[in-house]
Amino acid sequence: MARWRLTSSAPLVPHVADAGDRAVGEFMDPVTVWDDGTMLFSVKVDVTLREGVADPQGATIERSLPHLGFDGVRGVRVGKSIHFELESTDASSARREVDELCARFLTNPVIEDASVTIGETTSSPVG
């Protein structure tokens, strides 16, 4: 079933290289390299409520801040951040895939927007 062959002993999933310094779950650059020109991209999708859509969580946080002495904080909006890796042949097809993924699943376009960050983490072939 596997289409790809691993050319190094690097793990498929990024691991915490130095757990002493980095919190588990922290977003890391993956280290996997494939031998057929496929690249692995690190993707970060930030999902936020669209402008004009009421954000009761953000409003509640904003109202709480002055009680803690933080005055002057405005426009609090709460969203979610989704991180993953994606195998793709090049940056533009990676982008297309992520955009479709966002539109069909990761966001509800009625109320949410996505902002996407894609980083190319490896080039190949290696080894």
Partner 1 sequence: MAARIGVVLFPGSNCEHDVIEAVRLLGGEGQICWHGDDHLGDVDAVVIPGGFAHGDYLRPGAIARFSPIMGAVSEFAHAGGAVLGICNGFQVLTEAGLLPGALQKNRGLKFLCTTVGLRVETTNSILTNAAEVGQVLRVPINHFEGSYTCSEETLAELRTQDRVVLRYTDNPNGSVDDIAGICNEGRNVVGLMPHPERAVSSLLGSEDGVVLIESLLSSASVSV
Rg (CA), the chain: 19
The dihedral formed by the CA atoms of 65, 66, 72 and 75, expressed in degrees to the nearest 10: 40
* Cβ nearer to partner 1, comparing 60 with 123: 60
**Residue 103 DSSP symbol:** I
Stretch that binds partner 1, among 8-16, 30-38, 88-96, 105-113 (CB under 8 A): 105-113
- Closest distance to partner 1 from the beta carbon of 62 (Å): 13
Stretch that binds partner 1, among 2-10, 25-33, 34-42, 106-114 (CB under 8 A): 106-114
Stretch that binds partner 1, among 6-14, 68-76, 91-99, 104-112 (CB under 8 A): 104-112
Burial 76-101 (b: 16+ CB within 10 A, else e): eeebeebeebbebeeeeebbebbeeb
Kindly tell me which residue out of 6, 106, 116, 118 binds partner 1, with binding defined by CB under 8 A. Answer: 106
> 99: closest CA among 88, 12, 53?
88
Site string for partner 1, 54-93 (x = CB under 8 A): x-xx--x---------------------------------
